[in-house]
Structure 1
Amino acid sequence: METALTFTLVVGLGATVALDVWARQLRGWFGIAGADWGLVGQWLVGLPAGRMVHTSDGFAMPSRGERALGWSFHYLVGLVYAAVYPLVWGEDFLAAPKVGPFALVGFALSTLAGLCVLTPAMGGGLLASRTPDQGRRIALMLLNHAVFAGAQYALALGLVTAPT
């Protein structure tokens, strides 16, 4: 159990940090804005009131609390993805991680969740269909989640080779 917890914390938090560093680099290199976690926080706050889709109608700039909620949600999701590996593939997987599960969960599942859950929830439509730059958004989502999955795999391998 301790191994699974350590794995989940290191891989979940570490890969999410790697994704955030990547997003910051994209902003610096190309001026590409990353996710606005404050808006995600607003969306989360609106869910109990029945606001399933975030629109600009009735929302002010995100508050500090909404930003904190959005960022917390972002890191919680990273932890959940990492927890999938020991839950589905078992403790033995942690001692000898294979790339396939990371491609499946860290890349494919996380990309689909972004394009089919979070993007529509933020008003962008299914598969970013309501955005003016759908192809670019999908390409960025694929690239970003490849970075996330790669970081998960690298961190998992690092845990195996780390001295105990």
Structure 2
Amino acid sequence: MIELLWRGILIGVGATVLMDIWAIVLNKVFGQPKANWAPAGRWFRHIARGKVFHESIAAAEPYEHELALGWAGHYGVGLAYGVIFGLIMGTGWFIAPTFVPAWIFGIVTIAAGWFLMQPGLGLGWAASKTPRPNKVRLLNFAAHTVFALGLYGTALLIR
């Protein structure tokens, strides 16, 4: 069990790092704005105080260390996803990793963003209140596919 937890932590961190590299590539090559984890940090802080959904996270009470908390939360969620996936798949998957289960899990995790985080930030269900919701959804799909590649690739590296 401990080995599964450690492997889950490693693939979760590896997948999150790859997702961040993907965001850098999108910024450098396509001019996509850089990731700003400060609003997420503010949101995480408000969750700890019992408030999940906001009309606009920008209007919520600020927190001095929200950027750091946002980054920590981003990696904490990635790590948790890696552990959950590892526990679901078991040692057999780590012995012979395959991409499809990782990809299915990566796509399933989009739901947390669409139906919890985005509405929590005031962006609406599945980014429905953003100026270009379909673009956001496509970018979410791509990022979570990259996350899945990170789960799979990291598992290959550590087997």
**Does the pair score TM above 0.5?**
yes
1:55 aligns with 2:57: yes
TM-score scaled by structure 1?
A: 0.86
**What is the one-letter code of the residue matched to 1:123?**
G
Q: For 1:63-114, what per-residue CA distance to the aligned partner results, in whole angstroms no more than 9, with x for missing partners?
A: 3x211111111101111111123321222221122223201212x1222222
Count of aligned residue pairs for this structure pair:
157
Q: CA deviation at 1:123?
A: 1.0
2:7 alignment counterpart: 7
Give the match for residue 151 of structure 2: 152
Structure 2 letter corresponding to 1:3: E
* TM-score normalized by the length of structure 2: 0.88
Over aligned residues, Cα RMSD in angstroms?
1.8
- The letter for the 2-side match of 1:14 is G
CA contact (8 A) 2:42 2:57 kept: no
Note closer, same or farther for the CA distance 1:156–1:55 as it changes in structure 2 (3 Å cut). same
User: Which residue in 2 is equivalent to 1:139?
Assistant: 138
Identity between Structure 1 and Structure 2 (%): 32
Amino acid at match of 1:119: Q
SS of the equivalent of 1:156 reads helix
Distance 1:124 1:110, change over 3 A: same
Letter in 1 for 2:3: T
Return the offset for 1:35: 3.6
Q: Which amino acid aligns with 1:156?
A: A
> Contact 1:85–1:93 (CA<8 Å) still a contact in 2?
no
Corresponding residue for residue 17 of structure 1: 17
Matched-pair contact (CA < 8 Å) for 1:85–1:101? no
